[in-house]
Amino acid sequence: MKKKIILALVAIVALGAMSFDILSSNGKAGYTGSPGETTCNTTNCHNSYTLNSGSGSIAISSLPSLANGYVPDSVYTITVTVSDAVAPNNALFGFGCEALLASGANGGTLAITNTALTKLATKSVSGNVRNNVVQLASGLNVGPNTQPFSFHWTAPADGSGTVTFYTAGVAADNSGDQTGDYVYNTSMAVNESTVGIKNVVAQEFNFSIFPNPSSNNLNVKFSLKGISTVVMDLIDLNGKKVAGLISANGMNGEVNRTFDISSYAKGVYFVSLKINNQSTMEKIVVE
Q: For 124-159, what is each residue's pLDDT tens digit?
A: 999 999 999 999 987 678 889 999 999 999 999 989
Query: What local confidence, expressed as pLDDT, does residue 81 receive?
Result: 97
Please identify, among 190, 218, 248, the residue that sits at the C-terminal boundary of a domain: 190
> How does residue 202 score in pLDDT terms, banded at 50, 70 and 90?
confident
CB 189 within 8 A of CB 69: no
Partnered with residue 75 across adjacent β-strands are 154
pLDDT for res 24: 40
Residue 265 is classified by DSSP as P
Q: How many domains does the chain have?
A: 2
Last residue within a domain, chosen from 146, 162, 190 = 190
Of 190, 225, 250, the last residue of a domain is: 190
- Where in the sequence is the domain holding 173, given as residue range(s)? 25-190
* CA atoms of 207 and 246, how far apart (whole Å): 14
Among 85, 27, 81, smallest CA distance to 56 is for 85
**In 3D, which of 30, 96, 84, 93 has the Cα closest to residue 53?**
84
Q: Do 220 and 147 share a structural domain? A: no
How confident is the model over 32-90, as pLDDT tens digits? 999 999 887 665 577 678 899 999 999 999 988 898 899 888 889 999 999 999 999 99
Cβ proximity of 136 and 96 under 8 Å: no
Phi, psi angles (nearest 5°) of residue 141:
-90, 65
Same structural domain, 45 and 119: yes
Half-sphere exposure of 279 (CA within 13 A, CB side): 14
147 and 110 within one domain: yes
Q: Classify burial at 104, counting beta carbons within 10 Å of its beta carbon; exposed 0-12, middle 13-18, buried 19 or more.
A: middle
Q: What is the pLDDT of residue 102?
A: 97
Q: What percent of the chain shows pLDDT beyond 70? A: 87
Picking from 209, 208, 204, 244, the residue whose alpha carbon sits closest to that of residue 228 is 204
- Does residue 213 or residue 43 have the better pLDDT? 213
Do 84 and 180 fall into the same domain? yes
Q: Compute the distance between CA of residue 170 and CA of residue 19 in angstroms, rounded to an integer.
A: 19
Residue 116 pLDDT grade (very low, low, confident, very high; cuts 50, 70, 90): very high
